[in-house]
Structure 1
């Protein structure tokens, strides 16, 4: 089992990432937030235009590649204070294999290289499996937030943080 993290830079890779996001989100999130919110959020946050804009804002996108296959992707942004994990999603065929834990090791290495002392993320309060996985990796719930994302939709999240030092 060979796991790699491949930076997404070229538009061709951004298109592949968009398609992977649509596949993962449409499989995983409808029971949690409903199909109409999935459709809206994909267009707002994972369209080709959104990926390009976020990349220009300093977000770094990576494919999670297992044995040559795109198993998922992650996105983060590093500031002076922290690494903000914006996205960490695995295709259904690759969940439960310890890949997320290895992805977190990759993120910890990135955070350490940039000399930040924590990783922060937001996770939907009803996404109990992901919350449990993050807690198992050492993340703590530090706050809650409800964010209006337009069109009558909100993101109802926990803010979780992993302190590195």
Structure 2
């Protein structure tokens, strides 16, 4: 099995995903535009327009994404019918034997289609190849749609995390953890 871009291409195709690693400026721009569309649509009712714009600029601008990639985050674009339909990013911690999914966003027309579940499967497969013990992420605690999604997919809420992100804003999240059983590895 040929590994491409740190994800098994065969595994991604078997579960019906077209996934491409983001490394080039044009792909970074695509992720940033997609983030703007998804975040503005989904998060305005949860955290308000001002915080959405602040977070997009701070965390999902082309410059911010490039800096994250430079320190080890891996970004991936998800395609449906040759159209960018979502993205995800993770950061591996070999010392802790864990994978932090820092981003997992699907555009509205593709939500509830199983794509998020398939991305979790790709992350689990990656963990198996690296002998990682668990996957973790944070999710806004008022984003019940996403909290329920992660619970349905084997994650456990391990508690609240409130993080000051500047300009008077905080991320008010839950830390969600999925421990991989020995049989899964």
TM range (shorter): over 0.9
The answer to whether the Cα contact below 8 Å between 1:120 and 1:162 also exists between their aligned partners in 2 is: yes
RMSD, aligned CA: 1.1
Residue 145 (str. 1) matches residue 161 (str. 2): yes
Gaps of 5+ in 2: 1-14
Structure 1 runs not aligned, ≥5 long:
none
Shift of 1:2: 4.3
1:17-67 per-residue CA deviation (whole Å, 9 max, x = no partner) reads 111111110111000000000000000000111000000110000011122
- Cα deviation digits, residues 116-142 of structure 1 (max 9, x gap): 110000000000000000000000001
Partner in structure 2 of residue 156 of structure 1: 172
Alignment match, 1:91: 107
Aligned to 2:18: 4
Question: 1:21 and 1:38 mapped to 2: Cα distance?
Answer: 10
What TM-score, normalized to structure 1? 0.97
Q: Which residue of 2 is the match for residue 26 of structure 1?
A: 40
Does the 8 Å CA contact 1:73/1:88 hold for their aligned counterparts? yes
Residue 74 (str. 1) matches residue 66 (str. 2): no
Rg comparison, structure with higher value: 2
